[in-house]
Amino acid sequence: MSDNRVVYSTDVGRIQPKAEPKLVAKSDGIVRIRRETKGRKGKGVTTVSGIALAEPELKTLATKLKKLCGTGGALKDGIIEIQGDNRDKLKVELEKLGHVVKLAGG
């Protein structure tokens, strides 16, 4: 029943558990780019999902795509959000990087 791991030592104090590395999200190999306005007060946002990269690489890619479009954006739960309708620019760039890309939604 009890776990025999050490959580406190009088020498060093509280011992933090080792962080588990974040796993790469499973993907079908297709990157989907869609334009969304729902829940954003009518403001258009382009979302990019389905990229099977670890968190640091995904963050770097998000930064590169935001600079390409000249807009802001965010990385939330493995989905890259870019402000505005930039589907065509993103499609061309992601295809250059070797991804299979589909434009989804309206």
Tens digit of each residue's pLDDT (9 = 90 or more) over 27-75: 678 999 999 888 777 788 999 999 988 889 999 999 999 999 999 999 9
Pairing between strand 8-9 and 13-14?
antiparallel
First to last CA, the chain: 53
Q: What is the mean pLDDT of the chain?
A: 84
Strands 30-36 and 13-14 come out as unpaired
Report the residue count for the chain: 106
pTM of the model: 0.72
More confident site: 30 or 7: 30
Confirm or reject CATH 3.30.780.10 for domain 20-104, answering yes or no: yes
